[in-house]
Structure 1
Amino acid sequence: MSTNVGTIDRVLRAALGIVLLYLAFFSGLPLFDGSLFKYGAAVVGVVMLATSTLKLCPLYSIFGIKTCRDC
C-alpha cells in the first residue's frame, strides 16, 4: 500500500488524536466519565495518531482519495 495522507492532513490527524486522548483520560469532563465515550475517544485518537504516523489511511485507499502531492 502506498502513502495517501499529505502533510496538512497528517498534522490535523495528529492534533485531533492528541486532543481526543487528552479528553478521554485527563480532561475530567462529565461526558467522558462513561466508558463508551472515554474508550471510544481513546480508540479514535489512537487510530488518528496511527494513520498520521504511517501516512496511510485505509478509508482513503478504499475511496481512491490522496491528499499528498508527490505520491
Structure 2
Amino acid sequence: MERNVGSLDGKARIGIGILALVAGGLAIGGYWAAGTVVGTVALLVGGILVVTGTTQKCPIYAGTGIDTVEKQ
C-alpha cells in the first residue's frame, strides 16, 4: 500500500491518537469516570490513529480513494 496520509494529517492523527491513548488509560485505571468500555475503545482508536499517522498509510483512505499526501 502506498502512502496516502499527508504530513499535516499524520501529525493530527498522532496528536489525537496520543490524547485518546491517555484518556483510555485514565478511564481503565479508574481515574476518569468514563468506564472501562469507553476506555478500551479509546485505547483501540488511539492506537490505530498513532499507527496510521506514523506509517502514513490508512486502509480506509485506500478503500475510498482519499489521498492527503502533498503533491510535488
Consecutive unaligned residues of structure 1, counting only runs of 5 or more, are none
- Shift in Å, 1:25: 1.1
1:34-63 CA-partner distances (Å, limit 9, x unpaired): 221011000000000000111100000001
> C-alpha distance in 2, partners of 1:38/1:51?
20
Structure 2 partner of 1:29: 32
- TM-score normalized with structure 2 length: 0.88
Aligned-pair Cα RMSD in Å: 1.5
- TM-score normalized with structure 1 length: 0.89
Consecutive unaligned residues of structure 2, counting only runs of 5 or more, are none
Aligned residues: 69
How does 1:32-43 map onto structure 2 within 5 Å? 34-43=35-44
Displacement over 6 Å in runs of 4+: none
